Amino acid sequence: MKPINVGLLGIGTVGGGTFTVLKRNEEEITRRAGRPIRITTVADKNLELARSVAGEGVKLTDDAFSVVTDPEIDIVVELIGGYGVARELVLKAIENGKHVVTANKALLAVHGNEIFAAAQKKGVMVAFEAAVAGGIPIIKALREGLSANRIQWLAGIINGTTNFILSEMRDKGLPFADVLKEAQALGYAEADPTFDIEGVDAAHKATLMASIAFGVPVQFDKTYVEGITKLEAADIKYAEQLGYRIKLLGIARRREQGIELRVHPTLIPAKRLIANVEGAMNAVLVQGDAVGATLYYGKGAGAEPTASAVIADLVDVTRLHTADPEHRVPHLAFQPDQISELPVLPIDEVETSYYLRLHVEDKPGVLADVTRILADQSISIDAMLQREPEEGEAQTDIIILTHLTIEKNMNAAIAKIESLDAVTGKVVRLRLENL
């Protein structure tokens, strides 16, 4: 059987891992795919690095556009990243009738609708298992394994950097800034960690999962994004005392009026499996109407875990290479003419529970005032914790956990609580999910 020829764009960490795993498991992969899969051309700006990884017998170039137009190439693997040149290369590859495998969640979260439409028109596939949660086959599960289900919600720890930072803050009681420096020293965080710590990376991934789960267009611009930079060690400690852990979650939930799509620090009951995902690991919890809750756990980054997903896509595309395009799994799981226009709800319309921390004067009547304001907004209290003030202190912390309410009601309540004379500074507000 004629081998499938692959053009690899970018041979950094993931590209190098892909090359290594494909070579090491060549026999196994060929048995699964039905024909050999060979990387015949590598494009990278650093030709010396490319030569050291690829060795002899592979064509090297620093011109990626020559690869996507090469008639000998069947599949293009895009591992360059970013929105700019990667978009041009992917669209050019599609235009030239090539299938594309990519790990580029940012590209698909922002330009996915355009790319998938172009691929459908040309009758080629765009596979992106490696774009979400590294080696965990969550895209495959959502697109195929759970296709009998009406998916109700999903929640994921989908950024290893932030999960490592939150795990360390909890274990060591250290402030965010100190743990970030440690994460950078250990290589868990980039020199510029903005995309990770501000929640953007997780939002790209949550956007893609939501589109597949609910059959809606990719809508990154509608996603609510809040990172972990303002999270304080005190809140992690209080959450623990109340039986909760704080994780940065990507959440997508189906509601009657639309879809909730949000990324933010979230309290989760400590007894939940997903609350015990520590360090740089990833996990995604999916609730389907037929199957109930299913949990997918594993390494969300790294050379070989991500390469595992890239190669799984290569095998899939190879198997379906000659199949009638009408009989392939659609990019977003639902047939293109069946994509729903269900809107993404603004954050004000989200329904969740809340953790509130108030710094108040230690005097009678304060709690009564606060509970009355919450009651006026139809917000009921689930649990409360009041810290005993130190000797000589005139102020203390009150922690309140609420039952479900709409975010705009909580915003109104917080504004009134902050206006009370006995309340000092801003109310700390975190969302809480029981999952």
Q: What is the 3-state secondary structure (H, E, C) of 213-241?
A: HHCCCCCHHHCEECCCCCCCHHHHHHHHH
> How sure is the predictor about 6, in pLDDT bands with cuts at 50, 70 and 90?
very high
**Is residue 391 over pLDDT 80?**
no
Mean per-residue pLDDT for 403-419? 98
Q: Tell me whether residue 343 is in a domain.
A: no
Out of 338, 357, 389, a domain closes at 338
Distance CA 306, CA 102 (A): 11
Determine which of 181-185, 199-203, 411-415 has the lowest per-residue pLDDT on average: 181-185
Domain tally for the chain? Answer: 3
Please provide the average confidence, as pLDDT, over all residues in the chain. Answer: 95
Q: Is residue 201 part of a domain?
A: yes
Whether residue 175 is predicted with pLDDT greater than 90 in this model: the reply is yes
Confidence of residue 35 (pLDDT cuts 50, 70, 90): very high
Asked if residue 192 and residue 101 are part of one domain, the reply reads no
38 and 142 fall within a common domain: no
Q: What is the domain extent for residue 36?
A: 4-135+303-338
Residues 294 and 310 in one domain: no
Residue 344 located in a structural domain: no
The enclosing domain of 391 has a CATH number of: 3.30.70.260
Q: Are residues 331 and 382 in the same domain?
A: no
**pLDDT tens digits along 320-371:** 887 788 888 888 889 898 999 899 999 999 999 999 999 999 888 999 999 9
Does residue 113 sit in the same domain as residue 199? no
pLDDT category, 224, cuts 50, 70, 90? very high
Whether 151 and 206 share a structural domain: yes
Q: For residue 224, what are the β-bridge partners? A: 262
Q: The domain spanning residue 334 has which CATH number? A: 3.40.50.720
| 157 and 295 assigned to the same domain | yes
In a domain, 170, yes or no: yes
Cα–Cα distance between 417 and 373 in angstroms, integer?
Answer: 7
Structure tokens at 409: 């009601």
Same domain, 284 and 310: no
- Distance (Å, rounded) from C-alpha 60 to C-alpha 228? 41
CA–CA distances in Å: residue 31 to residues 4, 34, 113, 401: 13, 5, 34, 55
State mean pLDDT over 235-240: 96
Any domain includes 372: yes
pLDDT in tens, 248-263: 999 999 999 999 999 9
pLDDT value at 390 more than 80? no
Amino acid identity, position 186: L
| Cα end-to-end span (Å), the chain | 48
In 3D, which of 136, 96, 58, 70 has the Cα closest to residue 306?
136
Q: Copy the structure tokens of residue 161.
A: 């950097």
The per-residue pLDDT for 406 is 98
Residue pair 156/206 in contact (Cβ under 8 Å)? The answer is yes
Same domain, 115 and 162: no
pLDDT-derived band at 91, boundaries 50, 70, 90: very high
pLDDT value at residue 317? 95
Q: Are residues 92 and 153 in the same domain?
A: no
Q: Are residues 266 and 331 in the same domain?
A: no
Residues 382 and 417 in one domain: yes
> Are 9 and 77 within 8 A, CB to CB?
yes
- With pLDDT > 90 as the criterion, what percentage of the chain qualifies? 87
CB-based contact 223:160 (threshold 8 Å): no
Answer yes or no: is pLDDT of 303 > 80: yes
Q: Inform me whether the pLDDT recorded for 187 exceeds 90.
A: no
Backbone φ and ψ for 249, nearest 5 degrees, come out as -110, 140
Q: Is residue 182 part of a domain?
A: yes
Reading the block at residue 383, the tokens are: 């649990």
Using the structure block, give the residue that is written with the tokens 């402030």.
175
SS3 annotation, the chain: CCCEEEEEECCCHHHHHHHHHHHHCHHHHHHHHCCCEEEEEEECCCHHHHHHHHCCCCEEECCHHHHHCCCCCCEEEECCCCCHHHHHHHHHHHHCCCEEEECCHHHHHHHHHHHHHHHHHHCCCEECHHHCCCCCCHHHHHHHHCCCCCEEEEEEECCHHHHHHHHHHHHHCCCHHHHHHHHHHCCCCCCCCHHHHCCHHHHHHHHHHHHHHHCCCCCHHHCEECCCCCCCHHHHHHHHHCCEEEEEEEEEEEECCEEEEEEEEEEEECCCHHHHCCCCEEEEEEEECCCEEEEEEEECCCHHHHHHHHHHHHHHHHHHCCCCHHHCCCCCCCCHHHCCCCCECCHHHCEEEEEEEEEEECCCCHHHHHHHHHHHCCCCEEEEEECCCCCCCCEEEEEEEECCEEHHHHHHHHHHHHCCCCEEEEEEEEEECCC
Query: For a pLDDT cut of 70, what percent of the chain falls above it?
Result: 100
Q: How many C-beta atoms lie closer than 10 Å to residue 259's C-beta?
A: 22
**Which residues are identified as catalytic?**
205
| Domain-embedded: residue 268 | yes
Domain of 226, CATH number, reads 3.30.360.10
Mean of pLDDT values over 223-237 = 96
Q: Which of 99, 113, 7, 95 shows the shortest CA–CA distance to 54?
A: 7
- Quote the CA–CA distance of 62 and 60 in Å, as a whole number: 7
Q: Are strands 351-361 and 423-432 parallel, antiparallel or unpaired?
A: antiparallel
Cα torsion through 274, 280, 286, 292, rounded to 10: -40
241 within domain boundaries = yes
Of 58, 97, 107, 55, the closest CA to residue 76 belongs to 97
Q: Which of 265, 341, 293, 342 is nearest to 152 (CA)?
A: 293
